[in-house]
A and B are shown apart, each in its own frame.
Chain A
Amino acid sequence: MLGLSSLWMTAGSMLFALVGALRLPRAAVLDSPSKRVRVSLPETLAAGTAFVPPGRSMAVFRDEDGVFAISTVCTHLGCIIKPTAEGFECPCHGSRFAADGSVTRGPAPQPLRWLKVSASGEQWIVDEAAVVPAGTKVNA
C-alpha cells in the first residue's frame, strides 16, 4: 500500500515535470520583426506595376481606385512568387495567379492574400498579419 502510493506519487510528479518541460519548446515570443511595414510609394508608380518594398514579401500597387497590397507568399507551400506582366508566377511548383491574386494554374489551393493597407501621412502602412477581402483598395 505504502509502496504503491509512493510509486504513484513518483509517477505523478514526473508526469507533471514532463508537462512542464514540454512547455519549454513552445516559444513565448517570436524573433521576427514587426509585421507592419511602412511603405513610401514612388510618385511615378504606374497602375498595374508592382512595387516591392525591399526585404518584404509583398507587392504594393496603386491605380485610380486607390492603393492595395498583395502578399507574394504562395498559398501552396510558401515560396515567394514573382510579379509578372499578367499576374504572378510561383517558381517552386508552377502555380500562376492573376493580377487580382486568383489562381489560374497549378497546385495553389487559395488565391493570394490581400493585405490591410492604411494611410499614414504621405506613407502607407501595410500590415502583413491582417488580411482583407480581395478588391479592397484604400485612398488617402
Chain B
Amino acid sequence: MKSADASGSALGAFADNLRAAPRRIREGAFRGGAPHTDRTRSTFVFGNVFLHLHSVRVHRWSLRWWTTAGLGIASVAAFLITLVTGVLLMFYYKPYPDVAYASIKDIHFVVPTGRFMRNIHRWATNVMVVTVILHMARVFYTAAYRSPREFNWLIGLALLVTTLGLSFTGYLLPWDQLAYWAITIGANIAQSPREVTDALGVTDMFDPGGLQRLLLLGSDTVGPEALIRFYLLHVMILPLGLTMLLAVHFWRVRKDGGLARPSDADERLGPPAQTYPVFTEAPAKTYSLAAVVRGRTEAVNRGPENTLPSMPHLFYAELAVTMLTVAVCLALALVSDAPLREVANPLVPENPAKAPWYFLGLQELVSFSAFMGGIGIPAIVILGLALIPYLDREEVQTGDWWGGPGGWPLVRRSIAVGLGSVLALEAFAIRFGWLREWFPAIPQLVVTFVNPATILTLAYGAYSVWLVRRHASARAGALGLFTCFLCGFLVLTVIGTHFRGPNWVFYWSPADWPRH
C-alpha cells in the first residue's frame, strides 16, 4: 500500500515535471524574463550569446543616423545574406570545370528559387564591397581610427582585403568566359613580381611571383586544380577567416569604448529627455564592470544620462539597417540577373576580359604595369592605410565628420586635386601614349617604375606631404591623401568599367565598340 502510494506520488511528480518542461525550457533559454525594466533589458543583452557582443547601454551619440550611417551593420548584413544564399547554392554547385558551368545553368533554369538566390548572392556581394569601402571612409573621415582604436582599424583593413578576396574567388566559380579570363589575369598579376625579378635577372633563384601563382592555381593553367582551390577559399577558408576577424572587430568596438565620439558630445546632445532612476543614487560611480577593463572607461564620473539601453534602442537601429540591406539586395536581384556567358574556352580570350567592377581600377593600373598596378601600388596603399593611426596621434575633433585641421574645405580641395590629377594623367596617357610608344627599346624596369600609375601615386604623396607641412599636422596630410586615393579609385574604376573596350582601347561608350 505504502509503496503504491509512493509510486503514485512519484508518477504525479513525473507528470508535473512533464507539464512544466516547456516552461522550464523557455525559462532556461531566455533567462531573466521579458525585457521590460532596465535590469531585465541588460540581462537580455548579456545573457544572450548573439547579443552579448553589444554593450548593455549605448551612448545617444552613437545612435544618431549620421554618426555611422549604419554602414558597418549593413556590410555585416550583406555578409549574412551571402552566407545564407551561398550555403543554399552549394546544394547544387559542383566544382569541376564545365560541370560547374552546367550546374550554374541548372541553378539558373530549373532549381526552385535558384536564379533568385544566385542573383541575391551576387548583389549582396556588391553591396558588401560598397558598404565596406564606405564604412572605412566613414571611420577615416570621423577620425575614429585614433587611439585606442588603432588596432581595430587594422582588423578592419584585414576585413576589407578578405572581402575583396571572397568576391574575387567567387568570380571563377561559374566557369564561364568572364570568370576564366578574369582569373587568368588575376593569377598573372600574382605572378607579376617576375616583371622585376626578370628585369634584374634573378628569377631562376628567387621567384616569389611564380610561387604565388602556383599556390593560387595549383597548376600552370586555370583548370580543375585552380577551381577547387578557389572553391575551397571561397566557401571555407575566407569565410572562416572573415568570421574570426569580425568577432575580433566587434569585440574590439566594445572594448575600445564603443563608437568614437567628440569629447564634447554630451554638451552637444543636450540633456536627455528622460533620466534613468536606477542610477540616480550614485551618479558619480561607474554602472558596470568596466572597472576591470584597462584604460579609460568613459562612464566613470560622467553619469549614464546620455546612454540608452541597447535593448531595444540599438537593436531597432541594427535590425532596421539589416532589413534595409535585405530589401536593397532583393530589389537589385529582382531587376537584374547575375551574368553568365558562354562556357570557359581556354583558347579564345574574352575581349575585353574584365574583372568585377571594383577591380577595374586596378585593371586600369595594370594596363600600365602589371607589377606596380597589381601589387606595388596596392601594397603601398594598404601599408599607408595601416600606418595612418600610428602617424596621426592627434586628438582634436575625434568623432567629428571631416574632423582635423582644414576640415571640410581641405577635403573639398583634395577632391579637386585628386580628380584633377588622375583625369589629367589618364587623358595624357590615352591621348599621347606612354614611354613604350615613344621609345620602343626602353628597358622594362623603367616602364615598371615610371608610368602613369606610379606618377599618380607620387603626385598624391607629394600633395599630402605639402599638406602636412602647411598645416603642421599628420591628420591634414592623411585627409588629403585618403581623399585623393578615393577619387583616384573612383575615376579609374569608372574608366575601367565604362570607357575601356576590346583590347583595352578607350571608347566614349560601349556602343562604339567594334561589333564582332
Chain A interface residues toward B at CB < 8 A: 3, 6-7, 10, 13, 20-21, 23-29
B117 at the interface (CB under 8 A from A): yes
Interface residues of B in 69-100 (CB under 8 A from A): 84, 88, 91
A–B pairs, 24, beta carbons within 8 Å: A3-B312, A6-B316, A6-B320, A10-B319, A10-B323, A13-B326, A20-B113, A20-B116, A21-B84, A21-B113, A21-B117, A23-B112, A23-B113, A24-B91, A24-B111, A24-B112, A24-B113, A24-B114, A24-B117, A25-B88, A25-B91, A26-B112, A28-B110, A28-B111
By a CB distance below 8 angstroms, the chain B residues around A7 are 319
Q: Residue on A with the closest CB to B88?
A: A24
By a CB distance below 8 angstroms, the chain A residues around B110 are 28-29
A95 to chain B, nearest CB (A): 34
Partner of B111, one of A3, A6, A13, A27: A27
In whole angstroms, what is the CA distance A25 to B312 when docked? Answer: 36
In whole angstroms, what is the CA distance A30 to B82 when docked? Answer: 27
Asked if A21 contacts B88 (CB within 8 A), the reply is yes
By a CB distance below 8 angstroms, the chain B residues around A13 are 323, 326
In whole angstroms, what is the CA distance A6 to B322 when docked? Answer: 13
Q: How extensive is the interface on chain B, given as a class?
A: 10 to 19
Interface residues of B in 289-334 (CB under 8 A from A): 312, 316, 319-320, 323, 326
Question: A10-B323, A21-B113 given. 11 additional CB < 8 A pairs?
Answer: A3-B312, A7-B319, A13-B323, A20-B116, A21-B84, A24-B88, A24-B91, A24-B111, A26-B112, A28-B110, A28-B112
A93 to chain B, nearest CB (A): 32
B324 to chain A, nearest CB (A): 11
Chain B interface residues toward A at CB < 8 A: 84, 88, 91, 110-114, 116-117, 312, 316, 319-320, 323, 326
In whole angstroms, what is the CA distance A7 to B319 when docked? Answer: 9
Secondary structure at the B interface, as helix, strand, loop or mixed, is helix
B329 to chain A, nearest CB (A): 11
In whole angstroms, what is the CA distance A48 to B255 when docked? Answer: 82
In whole angstroms, what is the CA distance A76 to B403 when docked? Answer: 76
Asked if B316 contacts A3 (CB within 8 A), the reply is yes
Q: Residue on B with the closest CB to A21?
A: B88
A140 to chain B, nearest CB (A): 39
By a CB distance below 8 angstroms, the chain B residues around A23 are 112-113
In whole angstroms, what is the CA distance A13 to B91 when docked? Answer: 23
B363 to chain A, nearest CB (A): 34
By a CB distance below 8 angstroms, the chain A residues around B112 are 23-24, 26, 28
By a CB distance below 8 angstroms, the chain A residues around B116 are 20
In whole angstroms, what is the CA distance A6 to B316 when docked? Answer: 9
In whole angstroms, what is the CA distance A27 to B103 when docked? Answer: 12
A129 to chain B, nearest CB (A): 20
Q: What are the 6 tightest A-B residue pairs by CB atom distance, in nearest-first order?
A: A23-B112, A28-B110, A29-B110, A24-B113, A24-B88, A25-B91
In whole angstroms, what is the CA distance A93 to B123 when docked? Answer: 52
Q: Residue on B with the closest CB to A28?
A: B110
By a CB distance below 8 angstroms, the chain A residues around B117 are 21, 24
In whole angstroms, what is the CA distance A18 to B323 when docked? Answer: 15
In whole angstroms, what is the CA distance A132 to B129 when docked? Answer: 60
In whole angstroms, what is the CA distance A24 to B115 when docked? Answer: 10
By a CB distance below 8 angstroms, the chain B residues around A3 are 312, 316
By a CB distance below 8 angstroms, the chain B residues around A27 are 111
By a CB distance below 8 angstroms, the chain A residues around B320 are 6
Q: Residue on A with the closest CB to B85?
A: A21
By a CB distance below 8 angstroms, the chain A residues around B88 are 21, 24-25
Q: Residue on B with the closest CB to A9?
A: B323
In whole angstroms, what is the CA distance A43 to B323 when docked? Answer: 71
By a CB distance below 8 angstroms, the chain B residues around A25 are 88, 91
In whole angstroms, what is the CA distance A29 to B106 when docked? Answer: 9
By a CB distance below 8 angstroms, the chain B residues around A29 are 110
By a CB distance below 8 angstroms, the chain A residues around B91 are 24-25
By a CB distance below 8 angstroms, the chain B residues around A28 are 110-112
Interface centre among B110, B113, B312 (most CB of A within 10 A): B113
In whole angstroms, what is the CA distance A7 to B111 when docked? Answer: 31
By a CB distance below 8 angstroms, the chain B residues around A24 are 88, 91, 111-114, 117
A2 to chain B, nearest CB (A): 10
In whole angstroms, what is the CA distance A23 to B113 when docked? Answer: 7
In whole angstroms, what is the CA distance A21 to B319 when docked? Answer: 21
B120 to chain A, nearest CB (A): 10
